[in-house]
DNA sequence: AGCTTGACCGACC
DNA sequence: TGGTCGGCCAAGC
């Protein structure tokens, strides 16, 4: 029989669902936490099957909202109180320093050092 | 078997 | 802040 969902993809989605609200992980973080594959592989999985999980919590390291879904993503970020930051150009980007979640330990740490 | 592409990343300027 | 470059790994052609 054939698997509709590759085992690797299943693991990636599992991690994505594990990310607590108000927090995000980068593609690279997911790959590293998973211990296999790379950012691009994670990105591929998200592109294909990401619709079934909180895809807006998996982002690029630069914190730029997913192109093409910015509106949807920003709505979620606002609802989850995800740390955002406004650029000089006025573009909303994720405040990665505060929003990034390494996946280890409890989901806190939104307050560390200031600026 | 070789080249291109992609929901990437880090270094550099 | 933003553009370029090299590296990365798997899928498609």
CA of A59: nucleotide with nearest C1': B7
Q: What is the pLDDT of residues A19-33, one digit of tens each?
A: 999 999 999 999 999
Q: Express each pLDDT in A6-63 by its tens digit.
A: 899 999 999 999 999 999 999 999 999 999 999 999 999 999 999 999 999 999 999 9
- Residue A39's nearest nucleotide, by CA–C1', is B8
Asked if strand C comes closer than 7 Å to A21 Cβ, the answer is: no
Provide the 10 A C-beta neighbour count for residue A14: 11
């Amino acid at each position: 029989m054939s698997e509709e969902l590759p085992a690797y993809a299943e693991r990636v989605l599992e991690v994505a669902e594990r990310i607590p609200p108000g927090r995000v992980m980068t593609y690279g973080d997911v790959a590293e936490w998973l211990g296999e594959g790379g950012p691009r592989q994670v990105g591929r999985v998200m592109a294909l099957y990401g619709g079934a999980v909180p895809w807006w919590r998996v982002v690029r390291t630069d914190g730029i909202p997913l192109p093409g879904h910015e509106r949807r993503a920003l709505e979620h970020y606002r609802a989850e109180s995800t740390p955002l930051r406004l650029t000089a150009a006025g573009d909303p980007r994720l405040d990665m320093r505060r929003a990034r979640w390494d996946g280890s330990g409890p989901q806190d740490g939104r307050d560390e050092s200031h600026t």
